[in-house]
């Protein structure tokens, strides 16, 4: 859908997901790396468990579909080449510290003179201006400053982040939304603009009702591990349950859909002779567990817990689907790969990796539309893989000039 557009991607790990999403939707994204390769190539895991900049699975995942060139934008020649590329581009994405590209003479004000319809997107921890603009950050500190970390983890331990870094991915997706908003405006008016994305701000939306609960009710939610709190009489209800081979996510649910779910589980337990006499006394069609006492909840949960421990997550998942029980497996990456729904929707696709002489399984873009799915075109680029195509083919450099620029440390 975005095939007429060219995107120059100058980002490090903070912004790679933005270009990835744009390329999912058909944009021609050129990843511009420093000589020797982007530092994000050092982020694991690695193919074959071998740390190697050409084998970073992090890099592969978030640079898929992009073409890759190397360019030293700190040299005079590098700047000129970059400016020539900007003349051909619709969007530039960058994640340098605020002011860095201005210092190099490649900031938005300078580039928009060359190309007034350019959309430039900057992704930084806190944004381009303001009291924290120069503060240092990482995924962990962003998750802390964005608020979701306070609400996640066991109550008797420090708050936790999600172990697989997430903040740059959320911000990258927000940046793609901002980039396309600006691009859409440009399509109508011919005028480009600057989009200043804050990673911290991109996480605030994850708080769901927590911020507004502070504002309206002066209530501060707290992290509660595997239990969900906030009920009338009961302290909490269990959400994460151990089962025979892992964990499942289930809670005694409220409301009409919840009653059907609770009854479904009770019937399943009865059918296997694992429901206690207590279950016969409960009217599953009218019981509202939102007002139950902790003792009542505990008495029911004890039996549910025993039942789950007798079964695998796959079995429980299957029965849940059949009986409309609000239960899902706590998936591991292995479970995700084997998930039948994803398989049925052709979620996994093979891409050639000629340098390894094999194909590798990737996820397709997560939108399908009336004319078929979005396509993966190519694996992530090797370092400088498309230098010749872009520099010789696109910009018209001769072989001699390319040799000179390589020798001089420009490309």
Partner 1 sequence: MAEKVFEDIKVTDLSWAAAGPGIGMFLASLGAEVIHIETKSHPDVLRSGGPFKDNKIHPDKSGSFAQYNAGKYGITLNLRSPQGKQIFKKIVARSDVVLENMSPGAMKRLGLDFGELQKVKPDIIMVSASLQGQTGPARERIGFGHQLAALSGFYEVCGWPDRGPEMVWGAYTDYISIRIGIVALISALDYKRRTGKGRYLDLSEFEAGVGLLAPEILDYTLNGKVVKRMGNRCLYAAPHGAFPCKDEDTWCAIAVFTDEEWQNLCEVIDSPDWVRGPEFATLTGRKANEDKLEKLLSEWTVNWTAEELFQRLQRANVPAGIVQNPREIQEDKQLDHRHHFWELLHPQIGKHHYEAPAFIISETPVEIRMPAPCLGEHNKHVYTKILGLSDQEFIELSANGVFD
Judged by beta carbon, residue 44 or residue 393, the one nearer partner 1 is: 44
Secondary structure (3-state) at 215: helix
Distance (Å, rounded) from C-alpha 317 to C-alpha 80? 58
Cα angle: 235, vertex 239, 243; to 5 degrees: 130
Task: Answer yes or no whether residue 100 interacts with partner 1 by CB under 8 A.
Answer: no
CB of 77 to partner 1, least distance (A): 30
Task: Answer yes or no whether residue 10 interacts with partner 1 by CB under 8 A.
Answer: no
Tokens at 156, concatenated: 């008797």
Stretch that binds partner 1, among 237-245, 272-280, 284-292, 297-305 (CB under 8 A): 237-245
Judged by beta carbon, residue 295 or residue 334, the one nearer partner 1 is: 334
Please provide the DSSP assignment of 65-132 as one string: T-EEEE--TTSHHHHHHHHHHHHT-SEEEE-SPTTHHHHTT-SHHHHHHH-TT-EEEEEESS-SSSTT
Distance (Å, rounded) from C-alpha 59 to C-alpha 4? 25
Judged by beta carbon, residue 216 or residue 396, the one nearer partner 1 is: 216
Q: Which of 73, 145, 390, 410 binds partner 1 (CB under 8 A)?
A: 145
Q: Which of 9, 23, 58, 410 binds partner 1 (CB under 8 A)?
A: 58
Residues from 196 through 235 that contact partner 1 (CB under 8 A): 196-202, 204-217, 219-226, 228
Stretch that binds partner 1, among 43-51, 77-85, 385-393, 401-409 (CB under 8 A): 43-51
CB of 110 to partner 1, least distance (A): 15
Task: Answer yes or no whether residue 115 interacts with partner 1 by CB under 8 A.
Answer: no
Tokens at 247, concatenated: 């964990």
Q: Which of 97, 104, 151, 351 binds partner 1 (CB under 8 A)?
A: 151
Residues from 179 through 198 that contact partner 1 (CB under 8 A): 180-185, 187-189, 191, 193-198
Residues from 65 through 94 that contact partner 1 (CB under 8 A): none
Distance (Å, rounded) from C-alpha 268 to C-alpha 261? 11
**Would the CA dihedral through 247, 252, 258, 261 be positive or negative?**
positive
32 backbone dihedrals φ, ψ, rounded to 5° = -100, 115
Q: Which of 15, 37, 78, 178 binds partner 1 (CB under 8 A)?
A: 178
CA atoms within 13 Å, Cβ hemisphere of 9? 33
Binding mask 285-324 for partner 1 (x = CB under 8 A): ------------------------------------x--x
């Amino acid at each position: 859908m975005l095939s007429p557009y060219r995107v120059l991607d100058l980002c490090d790990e903070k912004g790679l997901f933005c270009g990835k999403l744009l390329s999912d939707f058909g944009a021609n994204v050129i990843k511009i790396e420093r000589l020797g390769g982007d530092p994000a190539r050092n982020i694991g895991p690695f193919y074959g468990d071998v740390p190697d900049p050409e084998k970073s699975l992090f890099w592969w995942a978030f640079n898929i579909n992009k073409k890759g060139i190397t360019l030293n934008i700190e040299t005079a020649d590098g700047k000129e080449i970059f400016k020539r590329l900007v003349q051909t581009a619709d969007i530039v994405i960058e994640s340098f510290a605020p002011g860095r590209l201005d210092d190099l003479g490649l900031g938005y004000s300078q580039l928009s003179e060359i190309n007034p319809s350019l959309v430039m997107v900057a992704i930084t921890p806190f944004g381009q201006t303001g009291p924290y603009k120069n503060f240092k950050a990482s995924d962990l500190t962003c998750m802390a400053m964005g608020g979701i970390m306070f609400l996640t983890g066991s109550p008797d331990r420090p708050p936790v982040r999600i172990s697989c870094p997430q903040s740059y991915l959320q911000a990258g997706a927000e940046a793609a939304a901002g980039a396309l908003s600006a691009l859409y405006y440009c399509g109508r008016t011919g005028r480009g603009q600057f989009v200043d994305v804050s990673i911290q701000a991109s996480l605030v939306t994850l708080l769901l009702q927590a911020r507004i609960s502070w504002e309206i009710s002066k209530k501060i939610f707290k992290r509660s591990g595997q239990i969900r709190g906030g009920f009338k009489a009961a302290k909490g209800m269990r959400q994460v349950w151990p089962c025979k081979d892992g964990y499942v996510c289930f809670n005694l649910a409220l409301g009409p859909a919840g009653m059907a779910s609770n009854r479904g589980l009770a019937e399943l337990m009865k059918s296997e002779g694992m429901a206690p006499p207590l279950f016969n006394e409960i009217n599953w069609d009218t019981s509202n567990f939102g007002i139950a006492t902790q003792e009542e909840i505990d008495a029911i949960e004890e039996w549910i817990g025993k039942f789950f421990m007798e079964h695998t997550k796959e079995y429980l998942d299957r029965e849940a689907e059949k009986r409309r029980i609000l239960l899902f497996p706590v998936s591991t990456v292995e479970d995700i790969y084997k998930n039948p729904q994803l398989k049925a929707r052709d979620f996994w696709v093979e891409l050639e990796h000629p340098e390894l002489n094999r194909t590798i399984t990737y996820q397709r873009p997560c939108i399908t539309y009336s004319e078929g799915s979005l396509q993966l075109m190519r694996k992530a680029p090797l370092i400088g893989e498309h230098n010749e195509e872009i520099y010789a083919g696109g910009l018209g450099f001769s072989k001699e000039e390319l040799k000179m620029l390589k020798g001089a440390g420009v490309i």
